Structure 1
Amino acid sequence: MHHIIDTITQFVGAHAWLGYLTVFLAALLEAIPVLGTFIPGTTLILALSALIPAGDLSLAGVLAAAVLGAVLGDGGAYWAGHVRQRALLQAWPLKNYPGVVAQSETFFDRFGVWAVFLARFVPPIRAFVPVTAGALGMAPAKFAPVNIPAALIWAPAHVLPAAFAVSALEHFGGLAGLEHKARHYSVLVVLVLAIVLGGAIWWWCRRNASHGNQKSTL
């Protein structure tokens, strides 16, 4: 994985427009049910954000690509669910993942409209909650006001830490030869922190959802 990411970042350094396209697609594909579970979108965005301090990519461009991809990805998944309703949850490929679909429904029932916001930060249900929200009848007028702010917060939360970490390491390191290592290690550090934070949020949400189910059975 590290070799692949290094190859991508080196290639993007020479073809900046592909960097923005990659960030956009990474954010977009993460929202597609099932497929988003296997796409290392977060890892790619972190890695490419590490190119910002060197000037290979611009901060505004990366943020815009990430926000746009997240909004369109979640919006497209939601609309598919909104059009086909519950039938979509019982169709291929979602029918092959009944456990995650059930977890997404529980998550949505527990948190309501806020489930759309919270799910953007919680793998693996991030790729299932938008389509579930649409399938369960959430109105478009309620979805968009939550979906867009979620993307506006999610994108900087992924882009800025990696960019700042690399900038700080390059500044305090003071050696040009450390630039590549600084990018590499800062991406790893931020990735670990993102996984830990995501795991904590997922555990908290699942714990609250399970408590909600217990109360409903009393």
Structure 2
Amino acid sequence: MSSLLDQIIQFVSAHVWLAYATVFAAAALEAVPVFGAFVPGSTLIIALSALVAAGELRLAEVIAAAVAGAALGDGASYLAGHIYQRKILGIWPLASYPAVIARSEAFFARRGALAVLLARFVPPVRAFVPVIAGAFGMPPARFFSVNIPAIALWACAHILPAALAGSLWKQYGREVEHIALPLLVIGLLLWVAIWLLRRRKHLAAE
């Protein structure tokens, strides 16, 4: 485990720009309707954020990359909906996911502007609410006044705990590695199981 972690840290230290670019791209792609449901963006961001403790990545720059990527993804989706209105919901690939569109529409209809905030933390709705907000005519000023703070909260909620965990591992990891490694494996298996169950439920709803 330590050798693998050391190799990852060495790779990141040699390709710092690639780490920031990955955080940016992961946040941006996760916000793209339909495609975002298949991109493990949050997982990549959390994994890279844990390496802040190694000293090769700067916390503020990781947060900035995540915020910028998510803002680009959400903003592009919203503007597409704003320009094409409800017609965009009938265009591929959105038209291929009527159940998710219906859930996202209902979520937006119930919550209004609050849906833009809450959707940031609810996959796969997160990737659909911005385009629906645009399609339903939410004014740009209102959308971005809620969306940008929501993105900042989302980024901090993902990155700060991961960075803290990385700091704790750096300080105590080698002492508790015989305990931490099995827990890590169990946690990874649980995450995969939950992800597969969600995907199965998502596909069954189509």
TM bin (shorter chain): 0.7 to 0.9
Tell me by how many angstroms 1:59 deviates.
0.4
Deviation of 1:129 after TM superposition, in Å, equals 0.5
Structure 1 unaligned segments of length 5 or more: list them: 1-5, 200-218
User: Which string of whole-angstrom CA distances, capped at 9 and with x for unpartnered residues, describes residues 17-54 of structure 1?
Assistant: 00000000000011100000000100100110011000
Partner Cα separation in structure 1 for residue 96 and residue 8 of structure 2? 32
Q: Give distance in 1, aligned partners of 2:7 and 2:111.
A: 40
Contact map agreement 2:9 2:54 (CA 8 A) in 1: no
What's the TM-score once normalised by structure 2's chain length?
A: 0.81
Number of aligned positions between the proteins: 185
% identical equivalent positions: 59
Q: How does 1:111-150 map to 2 (within 5 A)?
A: 111-150=111-150
**SS of the counterpart of 2:80?**
helix
* 1:67 corresponds to 2:57: no
Rounded to whole Å, the distance in 2 between the matches of 1:8 and 1:95 is 40
The residue number in structure 2 matching 1:42 is 42
SS in 1 for 2:91: coil
Q: Aligned-pair distance for 1:170?
A: 2.2
- Could you tell me which amino acid in structure 2 is paired with residue 62 of structure 1? V
Mapped partners of 1:79, 1:7: distance in 2: 41
- Residues 117 and 7 (structure 1), Cα distance of their counterparts in 2 relative to 1, 3 Å cut: farther
Correspondence list, 1:205-216, <5 A: none
Q: CA separation in 2, counterparts of 1:69 and 1:132?
A: 19
Relative to 1, partners in 2 of residues 1:170 and 1:12: Cα closer, same or farther, differing over 3 Å?
A: closer
Tell me the TM-score normalized by structure 1.
0.77
Give the C-alpha shift of residue 151 in structure 1.
0.8
Which residue identity is paired with 2:67? V
Q: 1:151 and 2:132 equivalent?
A: no
Taking a change above 3 Å as real, the CA distance of residues 7 and 80 of structure 1, as seen in their structure-2 partners, is farther
Q: 1:33 to 1:152 in 2, by over 3 A?
A: same
- Residues 1-218 of structure 1 correspond to what in structure 2 (within 5 A)? 11-173=11-173, 185=184
What are structure 2's unaligned runs of at least 5 residues? 1-5, 199-206
How far apart, CA to CA, are the structure 2 residues paired with 1:185 and 1:163? 16
SS in 2 for 1:51: helix
